[in-house]
């Protein structure tokens, strides 16, 4: 036994030497990205502790006193803050409406594109439909002003010219929500269709030929071949979207909001910016952010788990 | 005979119906394309129209009283031009750095024999699903003395894991035999990356360059949070402030922005001008970014 181990140890050492001599360059190459990830993705994680502590400007993180209620003070406080409850409600509401209106749109558009038999025309339509994805939210906000401003907005003027009363697209809560969701669909339906078009391209064409022989029409083929063919893609994207139902970026709601509709436009991301970075309430907003991350992760894992239970492939 | 004729008739009816259906889909697509284009055309028309028509709200998708005054005013504004040039510079730098970082991260991970690959992959995946959050990130920037530092617009966003996965999938598609024969010839791993993988991966580099460049050109959230010095504002943040009449921007055209009619053409021209670079570039890269998006969705 003893002899075996003494033989094994040097053998392993030699292996490592040969191995590193061969592979050190790969480690040197990946070192920079790993250092980046460590500094900018992992180091901020220790700042999460602020959610459980009393933030003091001139103190080191370790010296800050723990918050009361076993460190849960700021989580409790968040749920006693009406503005946060409102932001949470708005986040869920806007994301849910985005999902309902925005999820089917690219699928429908991909199905429509798939029916086009003029190749060049199809390509032109695609190029045009991808355009909104390349616009920033500031630009899309300005477009929505140009379209929906009560005076001089393209749509508003058309409505007025046809003898109807102007609709307060941007100034009234319900209409603003519709505009927000609508501009979101406008921005994403073309881009979102790329993935479905790729999935459709992967469907065996023999299925269509066989269906034609059996006398299936355009819509029958769409329903019985194309849609089942892209179902896995739909499920995976639906999981990712459901996982993001409490998340959401900052730039879109921040750009699209205006003071008249803050009641529905304030979401968690903009709340954290205003109360945290502008209002310097770091402990409260870190707690809010952590709550959002953890619940978001929970949603994603649950959605993935359900999809696997239903026999679909998950995202991992 | 009878039977044959009937069959022929059926065929004819069917093909006619199919043709009609085809045209319906064409019409539908024209409608969709119009919805995409009309907001931009409206903006373009307003930027090119004269103040008189704009005050009377008579401009729709065709300019009235065509003139280039608004563009002249924007081009004569040093603040705006400076922000434009600064953002263009940032975009180029960010794209180059990000592409390098992405390649450096993706390339070693395609080697099956790399020890520690599992740990590295887990480390990378965690960052995709869990972010520390706005405030912890903000405090890190503070701790690293990156607040109000131009580097904060470059470094923290210089590697996207989604883009790294796209590049890695592309690298996986390059035959191992190419790499192995180069290894036998004595080429180092770094040489193989530079001489084999990079030249063969032009499509994925084109696609990711577009993603990174558009991200930087359009982004303003990081600048809003981390930058106070107005000289460092990227274009989109400047435009946001102009659109919302935040007077602290102090652009030379500020007066014009407060004049009815003129303000509309000026704002439109400002927005148009900042969008044109992207609108000119993306159609040429369509083939590449479609491949990029599709590859990102491929599960390993």
Tell me: the pLDDT tens digits for B126-156? 998 888 999 999 999 999 999 999 999 999 9
Average pLDDT over residues A293-297: 92
The mean per-residue pLDDT over the stretch A165-170 comes to: 88
In this predicted structure, what is the pLDDT of residue A298? 92
Q: Does domain A77-309 have CATH number 1.10.3720.10?
A: yes
A215 touches chain B (CB under 8 A): no
Is the pLDDT confidence value at A83 over 90? yes
pLDDT digits (tens, 9 = 90+) for A175-216: 999 999 999 999 999 999 999 999 999 899 899 999 989 888
Residue in B29, B36, B290 closest to A112 by CB: B29
First-last CA distance in chain A: 43
Please tell me which of the candidates B28, B60, B127 has its beta carbon nearest to residue A41.
B127
CA distance B77 to B255: 12
Region for B64 from its dihedrals, namely left if φ exceeds 0, alpha if ψ lies in -120 to 50, beta otherwise = beta
Q: What are the backbone dihedrals phi and psi of residue A66, each rounded to the nearest 5 degrees, phi first?
A: -65, 150
Residue ranges per structural domain of chain A: 1-42, 77-309
Q: What is the pLDDT of residue A125?
A: 96
Residue A55 C-alpha from the chain's centroid: 30
The set of residues, in sequence order, having a beta carbon less than 8 Å from that of B8 and lying 6+ positions away, is none
Q: Which residue of B has its CA nearest to A202?
A: B294
pLDDT of A60: 86
**pLDDT at position B118:** 92
Among chain A residues, CA nearest to B105? A30
What is the value of ipTM here, to two decimals? 0.89
Interval A228-242 mean pLDDT: 88
Q: Is the pLDDT score of B258 beyond 90?
A: no
The 8 Å CB, 24+ separation contacts for A183-186 are A183/A140, A183/A143, A183/A144, A183/A256, A184/A98, A184/A101, A184/A102, A184/A252, A185/A101, A185/A102, A185/A105, A186/A132, A186/A140, A186/B35, A186/B36, A186/B39
Between positions 68 and 107 of A, the ones with CB within 8 A of B are none
Instruction: Please report, to the nearest 10 degrees, the dihedral formed by the alpha carbons of residues A266, A40, B218, A120 taken in order.
Output: -110
A48 contact residues in B (CB cutoff 8 A): 132-133, 136
* Residue-wise DSSP of B163-179: HHHHHHHHHHTS-HHHH
- What pLDDT score was predicted for residue B254? 59
Token pair for residue A219?
């819509």
Cβ separation of B294 and A112 shorter than 8 Å?
Answer: no
Distance CA B109, CA B169 (A): 10
- Whole-prediction pTM: 0.90
Report for A276-285, B56-65, B291-300: range of highest mean pLDDT: A276-285
H or E, element range at A121? helix A119-130
B74-101 confidence digits (pLDDT tens): 888 888 999 999 999 999 999 999 999 9
Find out whether A225 and A137 touch, Cβ atoms under 8 Å: no
DSSP B64: S
Element (H, E) at A6: helix A2-37
Per-residue pLDDT, A176:
96
- Write the DSSP string, A163-198: TPPPP-TTTSHHHHHHHHHHHHHHHHHHHHHHHHHH
Judging contacts by C-beta atoms under 8 Å, the chain A residues touching residue B123 are 34, 37
Q: Is any Cβ of chain B less than 8 angstroms from the Cβ of A212? A: no
Mean pLDDT of chain A: 89
Angle at A306 between CA B132 and CA A42, to 5 degrees: 15
- Average pLDDT over every residue of A280-306: 92
Residues 6 or more apart whose Cβ sits within 8 Å of residue A119: none
Q: What percent of the residues of chain A are helix, what percent strand, and what percent coil, each to the nearest 5?
A: 80, 0, 20
- Residue A53's DSSP bridge partners are A66
- What pLDDT does residue B300 have? 37
Q: For chain B, say whether A116 makes contact (Cβ under 8 Å).
A: yes
Rounded average pLDDT over B197-204: 94
* Packing angle of the helix pair B286-297, A119-130 (nearest 10 deg): 70
Q: Which of B179, B168, B206 is nearest to B300 (CA)?
A: B168
Give the residue with greater pLDDT, A14 vs B142. B142
Model pLDDT, residue B7: 42
Chain B residues in contact with A271 by the CB 8 A cut-off are none
Tally C-beta pairs within 8 A across A and B: 245
Question: Residue A132 — very low, low, confident or very high, per pLDDT cuts 50/70/90?
Answer: very high
Instruction: Identify the H or E element spanning A288.
Output: helix A282-309
Cβ neighbour number for residue A195 with a 10 Å cutoff: 22
Strongest mean pLDDT among A242-251, B71-80, B98-107, B262-271: B98-107
B21 touches chain A (CB under 8 A): yes
Q: DSSP H helical segments within chain B, as ranges?
A: 2-48, 51-55, 69-75, 78-106, 117-129, 134-143, 161-172, 176-184, 189-192, 198-200, 202-218, 221-226, 235-243, 254-257, 262-281, 286-297
Q: Which residues of A120-132 are buried (b: 16+ CB within 10 A; e: fewer)?
A: eebeebbbbbbbb
pLDDT score at B57: 83
What is the rounded distance in angstroms from the CA atom of residue B166 to the CA atom of residue B175? 17
pLDDT of res. A150? 84
Q: Percent of chain B having pLDDT more than 90? A: 64
Which one of A36, A129, A151 has the shortest CB-CB distance to B32? A129
Q: Which two tokens stand for residue B81?
A: 């031009």
Is the separation of the CB atoms in B154 and B93 below 8 Å? yes
**pLDDT score for A17:** 82
């Amino acid at each position: 036994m003893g002899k075996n181990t003494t033989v094994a140890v040097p053998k392993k050492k030699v292996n490592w030497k040969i191995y590193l001599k061969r592979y050190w360059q790969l480690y040197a190459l990946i070192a920079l990205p790993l250092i980046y990830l460590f500094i900018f993705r992992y180091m901020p994680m220790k700042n999460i502790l602020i959610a459980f502590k009393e933030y003091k400007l001139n103190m080191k993180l370790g010296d800050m006193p723990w918050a009361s209620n076993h460190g849960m003070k700021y989580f409790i406080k968040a749920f006693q803050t009406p503005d946060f409850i409102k932001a949470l409600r708005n986040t869920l509401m806007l994301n849910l409406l985005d999902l309902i209106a925005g999820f089917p749109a690219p699928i429908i558009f991909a199905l429509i594109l798939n029916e086009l038999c003029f190749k060049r025309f199809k390509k032109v339509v695609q190029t045009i439909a991808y355009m909104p994805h390349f616009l920033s939210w500031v630009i899309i906000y300005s477009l929505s002003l140009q379209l929906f401003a009560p005076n001089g907005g393209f749509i508003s003027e058309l409505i007025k010219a046809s003898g109807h009363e102007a609709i307060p697209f941007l100034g009234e809560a319900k209409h603003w929500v519709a505009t927000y969701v609508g501009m979101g669909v406008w921005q994403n339906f073309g881009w979102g269709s790329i993935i479905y078009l790729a999935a459709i391209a992967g469907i065996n064409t023999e299925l269509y030929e066989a269906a034609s022989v059996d006398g299936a029409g355009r819509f029958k083929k769409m329903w019985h071949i194309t849609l089942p063919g892209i179902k896995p893609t739909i499920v995976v994207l639906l999981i990712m979207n459901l996982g993001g139902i409490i998340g959401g970026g900052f730039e879109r709601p921040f750009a699209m909001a205006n003071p008249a509709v803050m009641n529905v436009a304030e979401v968690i991301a903009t709340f954290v910016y205003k109360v945290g970075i502008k209002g310097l309430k770091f402990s409260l907003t870190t707690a809010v952010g952590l709550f959002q991350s953890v619940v978001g992760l929970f949603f994603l894992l649950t959605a993935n788990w359900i999809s696997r239970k239903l026999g679909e492939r998950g995202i991992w | 005979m009878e039977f044959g004729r009937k069959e022929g008739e059926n065929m004819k009816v069917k093909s006619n119906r199919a043709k009609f259906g085809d045209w319906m889909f064409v019409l539908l697509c024209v409608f969709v394309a119009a919805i995409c284009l009309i907001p931009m055309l409206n903006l373009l028309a307003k930027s090119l129209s004269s103040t008189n028509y704009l005050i009377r709200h008579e401009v729709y998708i065709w300019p009235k009283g065509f003139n280039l005054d608004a563009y002249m005013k924007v081009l004569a504004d040093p603040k705006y031009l400076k922000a434009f040039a600064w953002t263009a510079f940032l975009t180029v730098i960010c794209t180059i750095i990000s592409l390098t970082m992405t390649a450096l991260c993706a390339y070693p991970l395609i080697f099956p024999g790399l020890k520690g690959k599992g740990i590295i992959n887990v480390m990378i995946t965690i960052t995709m699903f869990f972010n520390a959050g706005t405030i912890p990130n903000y405090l890190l920037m503070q701790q690293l003395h990156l607040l109000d530092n131009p580097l904060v617009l470059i470094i923290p966003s210089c590697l996207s894991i989604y883009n790294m996965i796209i590049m890695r999938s592309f690298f996986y598609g390059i035959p191992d035999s190419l790499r192995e024969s180069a290894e036998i010839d004595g080429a180092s791993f770094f040489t193989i990356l530079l001489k084999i993988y990079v030249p063969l991966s032009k499509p994925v580099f084109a696609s990711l360059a577009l993603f990174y460049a558009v991200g930087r050109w359009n982004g303003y959230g990081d600048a809003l949070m981390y930058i106070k010095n107005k000289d460092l504002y990227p274009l989109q943040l400047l435009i946001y402030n102009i659109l919302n009449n935040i007077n602290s921007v102090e652009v030379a055209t500020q007066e014009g922005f407060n004049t009815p009619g003129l303000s509309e053409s000026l704002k439109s021209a400002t927005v148009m001008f900042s969008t044109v670079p992207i609108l000119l570039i993306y159609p040429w890269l369509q083939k590449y970014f479609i491949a990029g998006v599709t590859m990102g969705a491929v599960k390993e």
